[in-house]
Chain A
């Protein structure tokens, strides 16, 4: 009944969000539904450090964060050779058209909106990134 994705690929996902609750729910969702390895970071700087260190397959990046926000973090990631190739999906609670356009123009792989359905979050990510999950 539950759409659990096969974990044969064992994707490694980094979630960068200042909201601990969301980090937890999203991590739980991706781990339990897709069986992916989930890394979490509470700020942009921490996220960048984890990304450089762990080379995740994709990064789920919150937009509004204190200090270094999502777009800034994204630009930093792009600027660092080790992380510049990692696909980044922005996760935002902002749905204003102007915001959407601004985010799309950054060059991210996709923009996803909060709140998300934890049961289909992994599927949506896989679809966006073209991952052929079993």
Chain B
């Protein structure tokens, strides 16, 4: 405007100057025709005119320059306008202007891009509020209104301004044009989707300064929001990480004030953030015993030394012992330390595990490597002290038999003397419940003595104090449920009760218990071994142990002596090769089979000392079975050469006696028989009677000799049974038939109630039993009476009863009548012609059959003899074994 006014003035001046110039030129032309001296004014005029010309030229020049400037200014303006246009077109932010009615007057390409409208569809067509979600302008308008101070002067607002724009207009009016503040709004695209934008609002003002419209420059915040969101999430994550970390994290100022503590840290100390913030130093949060240590760590970190995994033991808020690894480091900037970061890692469980494993490993090693119990125990005690910071340890042995507990072994750390305490400990003999060891024995559980001075249980507390002991504990050593010992340890430091330590020590004591039990067993085994060796060395029987492949594992001196070889010559050899070396056995060798089968066997055999030098033996072979598997056998044998010779002599003797007795008896019996039969001529009645007596007694003498020999043979095992399956009822019938003449002679009726019974037995022997019983029954039955034979079959055998109606057997003799020469009446043998050996023979035969025989009273009259014959069970084997004799 100023330039325009100036231009007009210059033009006006130029016109006036030009008029003056023309007028001047006219005057001068007239004056040229008249003398100059007559017209002095002409001089002045000419001068003035020249001046006017000069002025004119000057104005003209000035005007030209001004015109040039103006054109330059216009060009400048056009450039600016183009610049503005290009800025508008190329600007990233949306630029939207509207008048006060809200009608949009400017809509730059960025706005087109962002909102999806074309400028031509918007400018003059849409209202500003149509570019926002429905309530957005009102919402933001309320916020803007609320942000404005009420004391501000209200600007003049044209009456036609749209209501929705009022808060915005007031807002921009409240700041100088140079101060534009942004706020966030959501725009709505043409497709209805919305996005956040930072809006910078300014006013379009008239030259008078009145607001004529609004201009918004808006920047899409979507990307920013995303970035912020990501950042926030990232921060959240870190915070979450810290807050949920099991590691304890704290940040402190260089002065030691707590700046941040995570929940784990808070939980460790049982304090909240505010309480930490109130603390004056890092160490203030810690228990007194570790304050100096923690202060030193902080100081170290503050001075640039990185503290890593420093072990700390402290108690947590609930009094539990906690072991942590402390790592501290300092964050520094150029100005110096900014903060100290502390990270504590709870290694309690890990340390416990490691400690437990370590001490268990140590104890296991000690136990494994120890050659004696006491040597092992002393090392275990030393290891316990080393692991649990103690200086004295003792193991007390429980003596259940003596009802007391006594120190077995003790260990003291080097250094300060424990002499008095050790001496007093060694001198003690405590009853159950007495003193610390006695108490632990009776309680069967660990006892912790946190302060020996205050413990009245400890008999040795004064001497313990004398040697500087302050705390201690004692733990039972068990085998099963039985406390066999007590381990006690004492420390010169105060030790708070530590259940975990106790648990660890209890585990170790379990190993000690096993160690002691094992040592005790080993001692017992050694003792038994000594006894075994003594027994094996001293017995006269040869004993040979063989392994699972029948190689000789051990030989006692008697066996070596009998085999006439050194033990070393025998061990390792196959048993059969040694014992039957020259027997020329085949695969059927009973001995070889017995060893191979791993079965028990006994009997007689012939062993060889050397080729062709055999000796008879009686042997017993017993398999050794462990957990169901054969691990070898033990053979015991005795040289029965002498007995064999003796038996042979006996046999010879019996044979000879038998022969020598029978030979004269044959003559006597034959002569008497011929005489009494009257074959050699008549004899008178008295002589006949005497001859009959002589015949009967010689018969009795023969029977007696036969019975004695029979019984001796059976009882010495030289009359083996021959088992076979027989019809027992048929055998009884046969016996009855045999006895029938005798029964008829005595006028006794033999009755049999047969029942089919098939059973394994030696038929000759069973016939002998039946004949004996029937003979007895008939002999002792009155005339006209009945002897009944009853047979009863059962699942496990058969019972045969011979029932008579004779004079009966007194109760007190029902058993003794089975002994040799034991009859009911001493005169029976004479009167009844018996030998007194019949029932003894019957019993022997029944025993050989694995059965039994007994007598019962038959009511008020008579006797029942019963025998039970089992159906060949174990009897068969014993029979076979009995039959196993050397060849």
Q: Residues of A at under 8 Å CB distance from B?
A: 1-2, 4, 19, 21-22, 24-26, 28-29, 32-33, 64, 92-99, 113-119, 121
In the complex, chain B residues 645-680 whose Cβ is within 8 Å of any chain A Cβ: 651, 654-655, 658-671, 673-674, 677-680
A19 touches B659 (CB 8 A): no
B677 touches A93 (CB 8 A): no
Nearest-neighbour CB distance to chain B for A125, whole angstroms, equals 14
A118 touches B665 (CB 8 A): no
A25 touches B674 (CB 8 A): yes
Interface core residue of A19, A32, A33, A117 (most chain B CB under 10 Å): A117
Residue in contact with B673 in the complex, picked from A19, A113, A117, CB distance below 8 Å: A117
Residues on the A chain within 8 Å of B673, using CB: 29, 117-119
Residues on the B chain within 8 Å of A93, using CB: 658-663, 666
**B706 is an interface residue with CB less than 8 A from chain A:** yes
Residues on the B chain within 8 Å of A99, using CB: 655
Residues on the B chain within 8 Å of A115, using CB: 662, 665-666, 668-670, 698, 702
Q: Residues of B at under 8 Å CB distance from A?
A: 651, 654-655, 658-671, 673-674, 677-680, 698, 702, 706, 709, 713, 718-719
Residues on the B chain within 8 Å of A121, using CB: 670
* Sample of 13 more A-B contacts, CB < 8 Å, known A21-B664, A32-B674, A32-B680: A2-B677, A19-B667, A21-B666, A22-B666, A22-B667, A28-B670, A93-B658, A113-B662, A115-B665, A115-B666, A115-B698, A116-B666, A119-B674
Nearest-neighbour CB distance to chain A for B714, whole angstroms, equals 10
Residues on the B chain within 8 Å of A94, using CB: 655, 658-659
Known contacts A25-B666, A117-B669, A118-B670, A96 near B677 by CB under 8 Å: no
Residues on the B chain within 8 Å of A118, using CB: 669-671, 673-674, 677
Q: Complex: how many Å from CA A28 to CA B666?
A: 13
Residues on the A chain within 8 Å of B670, using CB: 22, 25-26, 28-29, 115-118, 121
The 4 lowest CB-CB distance pairs between A and B, nearest first, are: A25-B670, A93-B662, A21-B667, A115-B666
A33 touches B679 (CB 8 A): yes
A114 touches B680 (CB 8 A): no
Nearest-neighbour CB distance to chain A for B706, whole angstroms, equals 7
Residue of B with least CB distance to A117: B673
Residue of A with least CB distance to B661: A93
Residues on the B chain within 8 Å of A97, using CB: 713, 718-719
Residues on the B chain within 8 Å of A33, using CB: 679
Query: Main SS of the interface on chain B?
Result: helix
Known contacts A22-B670, A96-B654, A32 near B679 by CB under 8 Å: yes
Residue of B with least CB distance to A114: B666
Q: Complex: how many Å from CA A4 to CA B666?
A: 20
Residues on the A chain within 8 Å of B671, using CB: 21, 25, 118
- Selected A-B contacts with CB under 8 Å, 24 pairs: A2-B678, A2-B679, A19-B663, A21-B666, A22-B670, A25-B666, A26-B670, A28-B680, A33-B679, A64-B659, A93-B659, A93-B663, A93-B666, A94-B655, A94-B658, A96-B655, A96-B658, A96-B709, A98-B651, A117-B669, A118-B674, A118-B677, A119-B673, A121-B670
Residues on the B chain within 8 Å of A32, using CB: 674, 679-680
Nearest-neighbour CB distance to chain B for A33, whole angstroms, equals 7
B677 touches A119 (CB 8 A): yes
B662 touches A114 (CB 8 A): yes
Residue of B with least CB distance to A96: B655
Q: Complex: how many Å from CA A29 to CA B667?
A: 11
Residue of A with least CB distance to B709: A95
Residue of A with least CB distance to B710: A95
Residues on the B chain within 8 Å of A92, using CB: 659
Nearest-neighbour CB distance to chain A for B26, whole angstroms, equals 203
Residue of B with least CB distance to A19: B663
Nearest-neighbour CB distance to chain B for A7, whole angstroms, equals 14
Known contacts A19-B667, A25-B667, A118-B673, A95 near B679 by CB under 8 Å: no
Residues on the A chain within 8 Å of B660, using CB: 93
Nearest-neighbour CB distance to chain B for A75, whole angstroms, equals 21
A95 touches B706 (CB 8 A): yes
Residues on the A chain within 8 Å of B661, using CB: 93
Residues on the A chain within 8 Å of B663, using CB: 19, 22, 93, 114
Residues on the B chain within 8 Å of A116, using CB: 666, 669-670
Residue of A with least CB distance to B678: A2
Residues on the B chain within 8 Å of A98, using CB: 651, 718
Interface core residue of B654, B669, B678 (most chain A CB under 10 Å): B669
Nearest-neighbour CB distance to chain B for A20, whole angstroms, equals 9
Known contacts A21-B667, A93-B666, A115-B702, A28 near B674 by CB under 8 Å: yes
Residue of A with least CB distance to B659: A93
Residue of A with least CB distance to B665: A115
Residue of A with least CB distance to B695: A117
Q: Complex: how many Å from CA A116 to CA B662?
A: 10
Q: Complex: how many Å from CA A115 to CA B655?
A: 14
Residue of B with least CB distance to A28: B674
Residue of B with least CB distance to A25: B670
Nearest-neighbour CB distance to chain A for B812, whole angstroms, equals 36
Q: Complex: how many Å from CA A113 to CA B668?
A: 15
Residue of B with least CB distance to A93: B662
Q: Complex: how many Å from CA A117 to CA B703?
A: 13
Residue of B with least CB distance to A31: B679
Q: Complex: how many Å from CA A128 to CA B200?
A: 153
Residue in contact with B651 in the complex, picked from A25, A26, A96, CB distance below 8 Å: A96
Q: Complex: how many Å from CA A99 to CA B651?
A: 10
Interface core residue of B663, B666, B668 (most chain A CB under 10 Å): B666
Residues on the B chain within 8 Å of A19, using CB: 663, 666-667
Q: Complex: how many Å from CA A64 to CA B659?
A: 8
Nearest-neighbour CB distance to chain B for A127, whole angstroms, equals 17
Residues on the A chain within 8 Å of B674, using CB: 25, 28-29, 32, 118-119
Q: Complex: how many Å from CA A82 to CA B658?
A: 34
Residues on the B chain within 8 Å of A4, using CB: 679
Residue of A with least CB distance to B667: A21
Nearest-neighbour CB distance to chain A for B420, whole angstroms, equals 87
Residue of B with least CB distance to A21: B667
Nearest-neighbour CB distance to chain A for B430, whole angstroms, equals 75
Q: Complex: how many Å from CA A97 to CA B477?
A: 70
Q: Complex: how many Å from CA A116 to CA B49?
A: 216
Q: Complex: how many Å from CA A49 to CA B612?
A: 42
Q: Complex: how many Å from CA A93 to CA B666?
A: 9
Q: Complex: how many Å from CA A96 to CA B648?
A: 12
Interface core residue of B654, B660, B670, B706 (most chain A CB under 10 Å): B670
Residues on the A chain within 8 Å of B706, using CB: 95
Q: Complex: how many Å from CA A95 to CA B698?
A: 17
Q: Complex: how many Å from CA A97 to CA B669?
A: 23
Interface core residue of A25, A95, A97, A115 (most chain B CB under 10 Å): A115
Q: Complex: how many Å from CA A98 to CA B658?
A: 14
A95 touches B702 (CB 8 A): no
Interface core residue of A4, A24, A116 (most chain B CB under 10 Å): A116
Q: Complex: how many Å from CA A26 to CA B670?
A: 7
Residues on the B chain within 8 Å of A96, using CB: 651, 654-655, 658, 709, 713
Q: Complex: how many Å from CA A3 to CA B527?
A: 80
Q: Complex: how many Å from CA A133 to CA B664?
A: 30
Residues on the B chain within 8 Å of A26, using CB: 670
Q: Complex: how many Å from CA A92 to CA B719?
A: 19
Nearest-neighbour CB distance to chain A for B784, whole angstroms, equals 26
Nearest-neighbour CB distance to chain A for B668, whole angstroms, equals 8
Q: Complex: how many Å from CA A63 to CA B247?
A: 113
Residues on the B chain within 8 Å of A25, using CB: 666-667, 670-671, 674
Residues on the B chain within 8 Å of A64, using CB: 659
Nearest-neighbour CB distance to chain A for B199, whole angstroms, equals 136
Q: Complex: how many Å from CA A113 to CA B709?
A: 14
Q: Complex: how many Å from CA A95 to CA B651?
A: 11
Nearest-neighbour CB distance to chain A for B41, whole angstroms, equals 208
Residues on the A chain within 8 Å of B662, using CB: 93, 95, 113-115
Residues on the A chain within 8 Å of B664, using CB: 21
Residue of B with least CB distance to A97: B719
Residue of A with least CB distance to B720: A97
Residue of A with least CB distance to B657: A93
Nearest-neighbour CB distance to chain A for B879, whole angstroms, equals 16
